[in-house]
Amino acid sequence: MKPVQLKIIELCKLKPFAHHPYKVRDDEQMEALIESIKENGVMTPLLVRFINDGRGEYEIISGHRRAHAAEKAGLKTVPAFVAEMDRAESIIKMVDSNLQREHLLPSEKAFAYRLKLEALKQQGKRNDLTSRQDVGRLASADQVSETESGRQVQRYIRLTYLLPELLSRVDGGKIALTPAVYLSYLPKQEQLWLIEAMEANDCTPSVSQAFQMKAESAAGKLTQDSITALMCKEKANQKEQLKIPMDRIRKYFPASYTNAQMEEEIVKMCELRYRKRTSRER
């Protein structure tokens, strides 16, 4: 990246980064940022690059949340460092500057990793490397993240092959990463069948169910009926449960009682109460 210069830029001249994977959410943190900007202004300049399209506009590389908060706070301009960099360089900088944020959604990390890996591959091609092996080495998933292994990066990238309906469930914590990775190998039609089965049975696939669907799909044996039958099976972690804090009931039982013994006694008392109630109602 070439040296940068600090400018005051009108907000109307700023454009979000094309295919920006990080979401700008109007949450409590955003409200706090808006209040901070109202009091102190934008303390940390944005990082942008000039778009040479005759409109005099700039593309935001880092600072989408600050730009949004500044607009909400009523500002017309913001300070920004203007850098000269090509598309691949700007992608890498954009991804790296945002990966430090807390509470990234799995989908945000997935598309960010994919963008950066593609940018690294593009840089490798531009370097006129004669060896395919050298290009692959420079553009490997191990180069994408400083905190996660190449294997983990590849697992996240697999999430980008999920339909939005499934990916939103991953972001919402309803589908864990491992089963989501298995499901990403299903073709679009099979993912649609899965969504229908999930909605009909109000459930999500377990790791073993997702693995089974991936295996059957690879063998050409996965059908809508087999997905429905698989999702109809009740999983232990989806059975409705009642949890009672131990400090509320411990004093009512002998100190020697185990959790299983206390559970058994509670069930017996509930049964006794039920019999008394039903006998009165007859």
Q: What is the pLDDT along the chain (282 residues), one digit of tens a residue?
A: 566 789 999 999 999 988 888 888 888 889 999 999 999 999 999 999 998 776 789 999 989 999 999 999 999 999 999 998 888 888 888 888 877 776 788 999 999 999 999 988 887 765 554 344 443 444 577 888 888 888 999 999 999 999 999 999 999 999 999 999 999 999 999 999 999 999 998 889 999 999 999 999 999 999 999 999 999 875 545 555 677 888 888 888 887 777 777 887 888 888 788 778 777 766
Residue 133: predicted pLDDT:
44
Q: Find tokens 């991953």 and name the residue.
A: 170
Look up the pTM and report it: 0.70
- Measured CA to CA, the distance from residue 175 to residue 101 in angstroms comes to 22
Residue 139: predicted pLDDT:
53
- Measured CA to CA, the distance from residue 205 to residue 212 in angstroms comes to 10
Q: How far is CA 169 from CA 80, 163, 203, 241, 254, in A?
A: 36, 10, 11, 22, 44
- Measured CA to CA, the distance from residue 203 to residue 239 in angstroms comes to 10
Residue 121: predicted pLDDT:
86
CATH code: domain 1-85 is 3.90.1530.10
CB–CB of 95/22 below 8 Å?
no
Residue 131: predicted pLDDT:
41
Stretch(es) of the chain classified as CATH 3.90.1530.10: 1-85
Residue 40: predicted pLDDT:
93
Q: How many Cβ atoms sit within 10 Å of the Cβ of residue 5?
A: 10
Residue 3: predicted pLDDT:
61
